[in-house]
Amino acid sequence: PFLDPIPSLPALYTSIGFSIFTFMATLYLVPTLGPTFVKAHLSGRDLLKVYATQIPESLGLVCASVYILALTLFIPFAFSDSLTIGSTRTPEGIFVSEFPHSRLSVYLSSLLSLLIATILGFLDDVFDIRWRHKLPIPIIASIPLLMVYYAERGNTHIVVPLPLRFLLGSLLNLGPLYYLYMSLLSTFATNSINILAGINGSEVSQALIIAISVILNDLLYLPWPIGFHLPVHLLGSNAEVEFGGVWSAGMAYGSKELVERHLFSLYFMLPLVAVCSGFMYHNWYPARVFPGDTLCYVTGMAFAVVGIQAHFSKTLLLFFLPQIFNFVLSCPQLFGLVPCPRHRVPRFDADTNLLHPSKAIFLKPPSKLAATVLRILSIFKMVVLTVHPSGVILETTNLTILNFFLVRLGPMNEKRLVQVLMCCQIGGSVLAFSVRYGLAGLVYDG
């Protein structure tokens, strides 16, 4: 029992076709263009190998170009069901076009944000921008998204969990704060992948698993012809899925808006999965190419784009659990409490071919606050400290999730470490789905 005619799905099949081409193009172009990047001095040494060959870097630029090209060529197909629409005449005699301009502006503003992210990422690869300078740039890149969100009368309410309702009521309007949150989301998504990096395949495998998780989530909202329908209250129990700011369970399963938004998300995620799988083949241990910051920024921005435009930003954040953990753990180093070396990648032991946690050395004794934070972290076995007999901390293992794995699980080789990271990312997604569709039913009503 659908409320509206459902948007046509043939465009989805076209998108799958485009993705297959995108996959093959990436698979072919990345190694072909690699030498050109080395010639342009876009290369780096693999820090965790014995050999010192220059490996082509920023091949994420090729991925971004193929991805954005595919999305651009796809525009007419995304609107194929609307191309035959004419205009209607109002009683006053004015012709009104029925073309879905708002959907088009969602699509175009998303492309614009992706392009800005590509430029930023590439500039970062070429000029090594300081991270505190590059933090605000994705915020600017998200302005087109936010404006379109506003123009669409996007929702700024959140549904208050049952236990807090006596205090806040059932719906809370965050207003401008919601926009602040969404712009921070784009900065977070772009940078958090970039700082969980440095071992072969790490950046691209994170992006791949998050993209697949987003796709699985989108599929739940499509009008499947047979069986397999999630209970309406679960899909609708989140304020993000309703329209125009009025909370009701009326945004039932199969509603046109909802399907359209998740189709939009699929159009952006399917070619991303294709690009990432093609690239991963060449970036897998031992890597023949590096993604550079460009890949991290483009994939991160693509997630922010679909999260914001298809209104599932909170579900999206749940897919970033390992990145959130890594970011929170990194904060003492990012904000200058603990020294932060240029590279925090694990230390490579050439004799055994194993990775060990790398260390940050205190040149002067840490502040009281830093020492307290590190001591607490070491109680929870997040870091290992080297302490002088006088009690002063001399060294700490670097505060990243990769070093955390090595502290907890012991030394391992690079391939095993990236596999551990991937398992953690998949485990995070499984947890995300159970929180979103299992626990959400407990803390929110239908």
What are the structure tokens assigned to 385, written together?
């400290």
Q: Which does 120 bind (CB under 5 to 8 A by kind): Mg ion, ligand UD1, none?
A: none
344 binds ligand UD1 (CB under 6 A): yes
- Here's the x/- map for Mg ion, 247-286, by CB under 5 A: it reads as ----------------------------------------
Interface pick for ligand UD1 out of 62, 68, 141, 197 (rule CB under 6 A)? 197
46 binds ligand UD1 (CB under 6 A): yes
Q: Which is nearer to ligand UD1, 172 or 296 (CB)?
A: 296
CB of 124 to ligand UD1, least distance (A): 7
Report which of 208, 57, 202 is spatially closest to residue 121, judged by C-alpha positions.
57
194 binds Mg ion (CB under 5 A): yes
Strands 95-97 and 385-387, sheet pairing:
unpaired
198 binds ligand UD1 (CB under 6 A): yes
Measured distance CA(397)–CA(134) in Å, rounded: 26
Q: Which is nearer to ligand UD1, 220 or 334 (CB)?
A: 334
Q: What letter does residue 446 receive in the DSSP assignment?
A: -
Measured distance CA(155)–CA(149) in Å, rounded: 8
- Here's the x/- map for ligand UD1, 21-40, by CB under 6 A: it reads as --------------------
In the region spanning residues 417 to 446, those forming contacts with ligand UD1, defined by CB under 6 A, are none
Interface pick for Mg ion out of 293, 297, 424, 436 (rule CB under 5 A)? 293
Q: Please check whether residue 261 is in contact with residue 218, taking contact to mean a CB–CB distance below 8 angstroms.
A: no
192 binds Mg ion (CB under 5 A): no
Q: Please check whether residue 257 is in contact with residue 295, taking contact to mean a CB–CB distance below 8 angstroms.
A: no
Residues 214, 220, 224: CA angle, nearest 5 degrees: 135
Q: What letter does residue 162 receive in the DSSP assignment?
A: G
- Here's the x/- map for ligand UD1, 150-179, by CB under 6 A: it reads as ------------------------------
45 binds ligand UD1 (CB under 6 A): yes
In the region spanning residues 227 to 256, those forming contacts with ligand UD1, defined by CB under 6 A, are none
Max distance between CA atoms of the chain, in angstroms, equals: 88
| Side chain identity at residue 160, one-letter code | V
CB of 269 to ligand UD1, least distance (A): 24
Which one of the spans 6-14, 94-102, 157-165, 197-205 is the region binding ligand UD1 (CB under 6 A)? 197-205
Exposure letters 70-105 (e unless 16+ CB within 10 A, then b): bbeebeebbbeebeeeeeeeeeeeeeeeeebeebee
In the region spanning residues 51 to 80, those forming contacts with Mg ion, defined by CB under 5 A, are none
CB of 327 to ligand UD1, least distance (A): 10
What secondary structure, in 3-state letters, does 217-252 show? HHHCCCCCCCCCCCCHHHHHCCHHHCCCCCCCCCCC
CB of 340 to ligand UD1, least distance (A): 6
Which one of the spans 10-18, 42-50, 248-256, 373-381 is the region binding ligand UD1 (CB under 6 A)? 42-50
Q: Give the bridge partners for 87, in sequence order.
A: 97
Measured distance CA(138)–CA(119) in Å, rounded: 11
293 binds ligand UD1 (CB under 6 A): yes
Residues 436, 437, 440: CA angle, nearest 5 degrees: 65
What are the structure tokens assigned to 134, written together?
């590059």
191 binds Mg ion (CB under 5 A): no
**Which residue do the tokens 């998740």 mark?**
262
Q: Which does 134 bind (CB under 5 to 8 A by kind): ligand UD1, Mg ion, none?
A: none
User: 349 — alpha (psi -120 to 50), left (phi > 0) or beta?
Assistant: beta
| Side chain identity at residue 428, one-letter code | G
In the region spanning residues 360 to 389, those forming contacts with ligand UD1, defined by CB under 6 A, are none
Q: Which residues bind Mg ion (CB under 5 A)?
A: 194, 293
| Interface contacts to ligand UD1, rule CB under 6 A | 44-48, 57, 194-195, 197-200, 287, 290, 293, 343-345
